[in-house]
Amino acid sequence: MFLSCCGINHNTCALSEREPFQLQKDELAKATSDFKTITGASETVVLATCNRIEFYRIDPEKIDAKEGVKKFYESRGITDNDNLDKLSFVRQGTSAARHLFKVTPGLDSVLLGEYQILGQVKTSYSEACSVNGPGKGLHKLFHNAFQISKRIRSETEIGIGAQGLAGAAVDILKDLLGLNLSGLSACVIGVNRSTDMLVRRLNKENVNITILNRTVQKAEKMARTIGAAIQPIGNLSEVMSNSDLLFSATSASDFVVHRKDLSSPRDNKQLIAVDLAVPRDIDPRLAESNGVTVLDLDDLKRYLDDVQQDRAVEMPYALDLVEEQVGAFEQWRRKSSDLGASALRKRLDDDRIEVLGQFRNSFRQGDSKALEALSRSLYRQFLRRVNSMDTPTLPE
């Protein structure tokens, strides 16, 4: 069983470089199925979040993990292999398991301990299961990842404070930009987990909220819980002209907010626009308008350095827990391999006895012992050859 992971994330490249490779939630099932077919891997899971796209696979033997990802994107019309080589990383064996065990509890997130990442990993795994992407190995790997996430959440303070980038964005506006949010007006574009968390935080800060969505009905439930106003996305320009804050987090493939949407001058009124989407929702050229500041996920990443210090104190203990889980997974993998080898040995010996019985009557009775010795010798030689081809442990 050869485990590998190839991916692109916020550690390897900027948001603008990552955007062409991004996969949305509704693409994950087909992406997993296509990736499995294209690569011929035994098991696959494609993981996509706001800040990463990662391809997990199990194969019978060692493979070139990057080559499979290149072929996948080529099938989607993306042929810039040199750029993909530069931006992507590869983890193999134990290192791949360790990486996922750090990703799932948020130890590898822009916001250390981000809780939303667990739900995103579960969604990716569920979508992969719907098309029979994972098998015994990846099922075990991802369930171990869920276990370590729960344990780190309960045994450390990694997750104190803001639970996601949406919540962190509010903290940034308050603590780092020094804004008093009470009484300000905010328009929030999109209805999903991120915006649900965001509007609850804004409501606690006494912000006047207007939710915009292409389907107004989807915004009604969210708005009802906090008494927010609702507008169709077609009224964006009007709502923006009366807003102090703008947040956008949709799954659109192109810009949702354009410079032309800001129809009236803002010389005496500031607008801070926060883009929480990948690909980006807000055209960066909006920042060229007077009185407008645009922040995207890369900007949030830079602002979060100070916020991380308190959580980072818990990092050594969290990493110790990760290593415990890595050890448990490796022990399971070795045991599974040993059980497979034992079954193979028994089947080969049964085959040896069966074939020997078929030919025994073709030889003289005195040759029986010699035939038995010959068959056992061939059996042992074959096992030695097979064992020499096995990979006894997952490589670091």
Residues annotated catalytic, as ranges: 50
What's the CA gap between 392 and 215, in Å, rounded?
Answer: 55
CB 270 within 8 A of CB 184: no
Integer angstrom CA distances of residue 114 from 62, 125, 265 = 33, 18, 37
Cα angle: 298, vertex 97, 197; to 5 degrees: 40
Backbone angles phi, psi at 338, to 5 degrees: -65, -40
CA distance 60 to 68: 15
**Cα-based torsion angle of the residue sequence 253, 257, 261, 266 in order, rounded to the nearest 10 degrees:** -160
- Identify whether the C-beta of residue 223 lies closer than 8 Å to the C-beta of residue 210: no
Q: Is 260 left (phi over 0), alpha (psi -120 to 50) or beta?
A: alpha
Our CA angle for 201, 202, 203, nearest 5°, is: 90
53: number of Cβ within 10 Å? 22
- Please give the angle made by the CA atoms of 223, 226 and 232, to the nearest 5 degrees: 20
